[in-house]
Amino acid sequence: MIEIPSTPVPGNKEPSSNQMTTTVVANESEIKKFDPNGDFKFGWVIYYTNESIEVRLGNAYVYSLNLGYWREVVSASLCFGTRSCSIYLDGVHVNGVIHWNGIRLPGAIDFDPELFHWMKLITVPKNGRECLGLGSHNPTLKIAFLFLTHTDLFFSPLWDRFFNTSSPKLFNIYVHADPDSHLKDPGGFFDARFIPSKHTERSSATLISAAKRLMATAILDDPLNFYFALVSQSCIPLHSFDYVYKTLLGGGSKGNAFGFRHVRHKSFIEILDNETILPSRYVARGKNVMMPEVPFDQFRVGSQFFVLTKKHALMVLKDRKLWRKFRLPCYKTESCYPEEHYFPTLLNMKDPNGCTQYTLTRVNWTDSVNGHPHMYRPPEVSPELIYTLRQSNYTHDYLFARKFSPDCLKPLMEMADTVIFND
């Protein structure tokens, strides 16, 4: 048993700077004394009276699973994979324990260990040709549509019509639905396309985990999945499937005029570096917490919704270095949107030239409320709106748009064939 001295912090309020303490638990050599054969793979179990509390290695923070908020650390013991171990960790080097009292941490922020195990067996392609699998033959590549939702898929009839105009050999569908929402399978092309899912919550890394879970499932399910398009329940298509497929994999209508070959087979992800929100979001987890892995000049922001190549999807899934930082909880929840920072920051650091720097999903931020973009209502839905939403200052038209209220389905379906899918 390793005793950890702690500074009592009463109540459940967010801590001030003088209420934060850092205590070194054990270094690598001390762990090896307990575990000379390297069997220690999971983590520390922290006991607070009779309540279960977890500690993350590397990240080093504590959280009460039973109570749902941070608590004082009293003592710690090694765990070798017993039932007490409820989390999976990356290594064995413990730098310290930061215990903050009163910060709420949403659950399920860890990426599924069984999926990560299989991801480790897949090699990240070194070049586009290898990624495309161009050997003795040219396979028919597919687009994996990744639906991330916490409500019913209200626009499934519109998406069904979208997919119905194409060959099933050109796409796959995967749905991550928050299990707490008790969604119904809408049938049609979405029938039996729901993957094992976990709880998601704003201002937490759970949305990153959900996107990773979708990508991992798609990669393991079908090796021909090449593009991975993340969309939400409030997203709609702005073009026909044929237009979308040709834009991504076969040349778009604007491609020849604007150098499509130059951006072909790149990831379509927004990456911004001069936004006024960046300083406050960078310190949302605390001053210097992101260092040294993520210097401020490398910190980026962008839309949560993207279309990634297989090469970049694998980069995301294999990343552990930046994930250890971005999965940390924020104590400034009003500035905590990790899903808008993790993906653009990671890909900008690893392969900036492989990204277009812009998204293919249109969103209207002109009258946003509490971090939510404008939601279109039925009176706004018209052919003119669709034509406007398609327009882009970049190489390609926008292919998708959000955010639409569920009652927009009727007017959208009425003009689906004559406007939306009539390219």
User: Do 156 and 234 contact (CB within 8 A), yes or no?
Assistant: no
What pLDDT is attached to residue 114? Answer: 58
- Residue pair 316/215 in contact (Cβ under 8 Å)? The answer is yes
In this prediction, what percent of the chain has a pLDDT beyond 70? 64
Question: 3-state secondary structure string, 186-206?
Answer: CCHHHCCCECCCCCCCCCCCH
Rounded Cα distance between 374 and 404, Å, is 9
Domains of the chain and any CATH numbers: 2-99 (no CATH), 113-420 (3.90.550)
Q: What angle do CA 173, 176, 179 make, to 5 degrees?
A: 145
pLDDT the model gives residue 328: 85
CB 269 within 8 A of CB 302: yes
Q: pLDDT tens across 238-250, in order?
A: 999 999 999 999 8
Averaged over 323-349, what is the pLDDT?
92
d(CA 319, CA 421): 38
Rounded Cα–Cα distance for residues 146 and 159 (Å):
12
Mean pLDDT of the chain: 74
The pLDDT, as a whole number, for residue 182 is 86
Write out pLDDT tens, residues 262-313.
Answer: 346 899 999 999 999 999 999 998 888 899 999 999 999 999 999 999 999 9
Range picked from 18-22, 66-70, 319-323 for highest mean pLDDT: 319-323
Q: What is the DSSP string of 127-153?
A: SHHHHHT-SSS----EEEEEEEESS--
Q: Between residues 104 and 153, which one has the greater pLDDT?
A: 153
On the question of pLDDT at 219 being above 50, the answer is yes
CB environment 73-98: b (16+ within 10 A), e (fewer): beebebbeeeeebebbbbebebeebb
**pLDDT given at position 337:** 94
3-state secondary structure 54-90: EECCCCCEEEECCCCCCCCCCEEEEECCCCCCCCCCC
CA distances in angstroms from 410 to 373, 381, 384, listed in the order given:
22, 10, 16
Angle between helices 342-350 and 310-318 (to 10 degrees): 110
- Report the pLDDT averaged over residues 115-130: 61
- pLDDT: which is higher, 258 or 237: 237
Whether the full predicted model's pTM is greater than 0.75, yes or no, is no
Chain centroid to CA 357: 17
For residue 45, what pLDDT is reported? 33
Cα four-point dihedral sign 219, 224, 228, 232: negative
Q: Between 147 and 47, name the one with better pLDDT.
A: 147
| Residue length of the chain | 423
| pLDDT greater than 70 at residue 115 | no
Give the C-alpha separation, 317 to 92, whole Å.
Answer: 21
Helix count and strand count (H, E) for the chain = 13, 16
DSSP letter, residue 291: T
